[in-house]
Amino acid sequence: MTNYERENFKNISNMIFFGETQNKKIFTTGAFLQPMKIKDVNGNDYWIWAVEKFEDTSYYDGYECNPLTAAKRAEDLLIDKIYPKNNV
């Protein structure tokens, strides 16, 4: 990986996702991952692992949540945040 690639992978907002995937899937603790092709701002292709499905309990800021794998807006990716009753 070049220095350019290292710097640009730090900021995923420099990538353009165009949805090409492969059927190869892996499981990591709590999620199934699938390869997805992306392009950087210069048109170079890269493959990343993208969440295809969540399995186990997920957490946001230390509290349980129910994440979606895709949404039109970033704020819609978490449909529920389950806070303890004494913190509501």
pLDDT tens for each residue of 35-76: 888 888 888 888 888 888 888 888 888 888 888 887 888 888
Q: Cα(44)–Cα(36) distance, rounded to whole angstroms? A: 14
Asked if 72 and 32 sit in the same domain, the reply is: no
Asked if 37 and 5 sit in the same domain, the reply is: yes
Asked if 49 and 67 sit in the same domain, the reply is: no
- Compute the CA torsion angle 36, 40, 43, 48 (nearest 10 deg): -20
The pLDDT > 70 percentage for the chain reads: 65
| Domain total in the chain | 2
- Residue numbers of the domain that contains 38: 1-56
What confidence tier does 88 reach under pLDDT thresholds 50, 70, 90?
A: very low
Average pLDDT of the residues of the chain: 75
Look up the pTM and report it: 0.60
Asked if 37 and 51 sit in the same domain, the reply is: yes
Q: Cα(8)–Cα(70) distance, rounded to whole angstroms? A: 22
